[in-house]
Structures are given as C-alpha cells and as structure tokens.
Amino acid sequence: MADDNFAELLASEQKRLRRVIRSVVLCNATTADILQRANLIAWKKRHEFGEGTNFRGWINAIIRYEILAHRRDRARKKEIMLSRETENLLFVSDDGFEGDLETEALALRDCLEVLREQDRALLKERYSGEKTLRTYAEETGRSEAGLRVTLHRLRQALKKCVKFRMSKEHDS
C-alpha cells in the first residue's frame, strides 16, 4: 500500500479512535498521548498491513495494546485507571475487537451520562483521580467499604446498561 493511501486510511479513523481511547482513559491529555503513540506505531508498521484487509481491526489492536501499556505504566506508579471489568465492556479478546467498538464506547458514554452526579463523581475520582479510595472516603465522610460496594454496583449497572444499549443497537 502506498504511503499516501495508508496516511489517508489512518487519518479517516482519528476521530473514532480518539472517542474510543477517551471512553477508556477518561482524560483528554492521556487520550492525545495514547493516540499519538498508536499513530507512530501504525506508521512504523504500515508495511505489515495488508491492503484490502480490515484496517479498522488492525488499528484497533494497536490502540488496545497502547491502552494496556498505559494501564501497566500507571499501575507501576500506583495510579488508578478504569477497572478490568469496565475495559472488558469494550475489549473482549487478544485477537482484536468484537463488534463495533465505537458503538460500544458510545453506549458506555451514554450510560455514564444517566448516572447520578455523585455516582459519576465517584467513578471519575476513582478511575482518573489522584486520590486513593481511602482518601476520597475520608473527604466525603463515607466509609471505604461502602464506596467499594457502591463502585461494584455502579460497574454492574454500567455493564448491564451497555449490554442493553448494544442489544437495542443490533435490533435497529
């Protein structure tokens, strides 16, 4: 594939890729960093992509591995990100993605929007904040155990909501 054609394919996916990454990492600056690294890797590996094959699946795999690398790096620094359960709403196998990832990411975003403000704040603090759950509990006057239960229930509700929205999408 000619470099110009590859660049055009890659450019056509940027908006979608940004939304997908943002739905997982919840931070604009981190989203930009991950997208930039993924674009560089894709460009370096452009000769490995077979013209006429599934470009979206190929670039999604690169994005997934970059998100996982970011997660690993943050874990080493004892930083907090989305739980594996939440990521698994989007990522389903090491071979790539199942279904339309953009639709799943948008469904997750929609489901987050219908949560109560305090629940969104808890999720945001837990998965993108700098504080530990204990510190957040102390600041809000809630027990750490109670917050863990609330987080578990929120993750379950989000999973159910995404599945419901995805089934509605497939019925349409």
Residue pLDDT tens, the chain, 172 long: 788 899 999 999 999 898 888 878 777 778 889 999 999 999 999 999 988 889 999 999 999 999 888 888 776 655 444 555 555 554 443 334 444 556 677 788 888 888 898 888 888 777 666 677 788 889 889 998 898 889 888 888 888 888 888 877 666 5
> pTM higher than 0.85, yes or no?
no
Q: Token digits for 49?
A: 């992509």
Contact predicate 92/98, CB 8 Å: yes
Q: Which CATH class is domain 1-79?
A: mainly alpha
Could you tell me the two tokens for 94?
Answer: 């090491």
Q: Please give the pLDDT value at position 80.
A: 44
The domain limits of the chain are: 1-79, 82-172
pLDDT of residue 55: 92
> Residue 74 in contact with residue 129, Cβ under 8 Å?
no
**82-172 matches 1-79 in CATH topology:** no
Nearest to 155 by CA among 108, 100, 110: 108
Question: What number does CATH give the domain 82-172?
Answer: 1.10.10.10
